[in-house]
Copies of this chain bind each other. A is one copy, B any other.
């Protein structure tokens, strides 16, 4: 059930990915997290995650509320509640530069420094963990005694696909 329509996209940790996400894999991660927390993986959460995984691109909460329209009509607040859980579970990230949310099938380590690369043309997001960036941040912080906690790195640019297709 709820199999990804285009099931390429099984990519390993520390890699980057393009559009679609393996919906089953990410859902099973969410289920594990729910289990570990003793809370249910509800249909609400499942629908939102499935939509994000299938889309493979960032969507605003209101956009999600519209598109999850399988019968019921969701209010934004319900979407935000689902997103809160999914972000805790590590299945969904928020893009601050766009106030949008997208599914992630990576397994991020605890202190890992992740870079979000957002295509200005097509909106697709690629992730990459960079130890070099992490060291650079630590270095920048050290010069002023700043104690870094949560880095947020978002790079706007063009993905390989869109850069290769100047006029689309």
Contacts and interface: CB of A to CB of B under 8 A. Distances in A.
A144 B158 contact: no
Interface stretch (A27-35, A41-49, A68-76, A134-142): A134-142
A163 B148 CA distance: 11
A137 B133 CA distance: 7
Given A153-B151, A156-B149, A157-B149, A16 B144 contact: yes
Contacts of A97: 96, 152
A159 interface: yes
Interface stretch (A55-63, A79-87, A103-111, A124-132): A124-132
Nearest to A162: B147
A97 B151 CA distance: 10
Q: Ordered nearest first, which 9 A-B pairs have the shortest CB separation?
A: A145-B160, A133-B136, A132-B136, A128-B140, A148-B157, A149-B157, A96-B96, A16-B144, A130-B136
Interface of A: 16, 96-97, 115, 117, 119-120, 126, 128, 130-137, 139-141, 143-160, 163
